[in-house]
Structures are given as C-alpha cells and as structure tokens.
Homo-oligomer: A and B are copies of this chain.
C-alpha cells in the first residue's frame, strides 16, 4: 500500500516522523502545504517544507517544533542593528537552507527539485514534496484587514479575529507531477490546521477531485483534542469562524472527502456522532510527545487505512 500523507508544519510533521519510522520510503509520499511560503530579506522561505524536512532529519528544534536544533542567533542580532525586520526568526543554521534554496530557485530549479536536494543534504530518505510547484499563497481576512499568511501567523501571532481564508494562485496551481495519483492506495490527512495547512493543499483541483472520487480510503486525524488544539490557532479560528471547536466539527468540515476519522481517546464520547456522518472512526491516543507516541499513532493510521481498503 502506498500512502499519500497531506501535511502542514509542526503537528503534521510529528505524525509524518512516525510514518517514516514504520513505512519504507517507497510506501509514502509527504505532500506538503506551500501556502505559507514567502519571500523575506530576499530569501524564499517554505516554513512547512522546512519543518517537515528538519523533523525527518531529526534536526528540528525539539522545544519549538520548528527551526533547527542547536541553533544560534548571531545573524538576526546583527540584522536588528541594520533595522531589518526580525519578527521572522531566522537562525544561523536555518539560514543555510534558505540561501541554498533561494539561489537554486533563482537559477531556474523547481521547488520540488530544490526540496529533494535539500532533503538529500540532510539525509532524509522519504519523499517530501510540495503539493505544487506553482505558487499558492494563503491570505487571511481578519478584522484588521486582509493579511498575508506570515503577517497574520508570525508577525501578529494569530491575534486578529479571522473572517475567512483565501488562497491566491496567480495561475491555477497544478498538482506536483511527482505525485502520481494512480499509484496512491490511501490518503492520510495529518493533524494539521484544516483552514491554514490542509485547505491550501485542497486548493489543487486534481487532488480534491481525486479525494472526492472515493477510489481510495481517506482518513483524517483530528487536530482538535478535547475542544483544544495541541498547538496553533485551530480552535481559536474555529470559534471566530462560528464553528464549535470540536473534533466532530472538523470531521464535518472534511465530510466530502474523508471516509475515516481518528479522534483522541478523550473524545471517545463523540464516536457515535462521528459515525452519524457516515465515517468509520478510530479512537486512540493522538497526542504525540515521544517518538513512541508518533510511531503508535502512525501504526494505528496505517492499520485503519488497510481496513478501509
């Protein structure tokens, strides 16, 4: 069975690390959100690709879940002296990846090609691919106006109330040709923010059409555990978008594309309601602190997908 895992950054990357530990490289493709990508100080930055790459390379900062481990901050301290923007925290080690990527992109390489070469540099064996080599740019409509993703997410720390999210595509983004949907046997939607991390992937028509077709099982892992998000603004955004911040509501949000849903043990009570949406449901611990947690959840997801096949 070959799995297509759809993922954003931190939360999704944890499950991907679990998957990479239980599946051989030819058994899974990690399709990553590029809606957060932006240019900063002349560098092309792909936060979700970076977080996943560093996580799989076992070089992610374990305290933040993003950025490099054993990072230092000499460059950004100097940037501040020059009056350059420092709200996006660029570490010295991290900078190397952005420099190399930016230069290769300027030289005409695709984001996929660059990502593959960066993964090779860090010894990552599994396929990490941007959902598209065409730009998709997330913008958040808030009470403070329409904000670009990083302005909302990092600079303003998700504080403005969200009214809507939109994905700008100068031309209709095409599915990354490295993702051969004919070779995919199952799809796993990782526990990432549905609006900010998964929806930009679903903005690629070929992918959404494939998911809606129902040829393969599609399982989503709830990013909400007991009315809260483990990390990030998912729960806060749901409230702002007039949705109860529950796993059930997330499942409803994915209703058209998933036929299996994984919720945390603490949300066991919602199993019946979830099944009422016509989904198969697995209840299992979903909070991933240790590598053991990540592997256990990855195994549970793989078994679930097998059962649904």
Contact = CB atoms under 8 A, between A and B. Distances in A.
A42 B99 contact: yes
Assign chain A's interface to a size class. Answer: 20 to 34
A107 to B, nearest CB: 9
Contact of A83 (B76, B78, B82, B121): B121
A74 B75 CA distance: 10
A28 to B, nearest CB: 24
Interface in A18-63: 41-43
A291 interface: no
Nearest to A73: B92
Contact of A72 (B74, B82, B84, B97): B74
A106 B42 contact: yes
A97 B74 contact: no
Interface string A77-110: 1110111100000011101110110110010000
Interface-centre pick from A77, A96, A122 (highest chain B CB count, 10 A): A96
Nearest to A103: B42
A138 to B, nearest CB: 23
A97 B83 CA distance: 11
> How many identical chains are in the complex?
2
A173 interface: no
A103 to B, nearest CB: 4
Given A41-B100, A42-B102, A102-B42, A92 B79 contact: no
B84 A96 contact: yes
B75 A117 contact: no
A283 interface: no
A223 B106 CA distance: 41
A92 B96 CA distance: 10
A99 B121 contact: no
A118 interface: yes
Given A74-B91, A74-B93, A79-B96, 7 more contacts: A41-B100, A41-B103, A42-B99, A71-B74, A78-B96, A82-B100, A84-B99
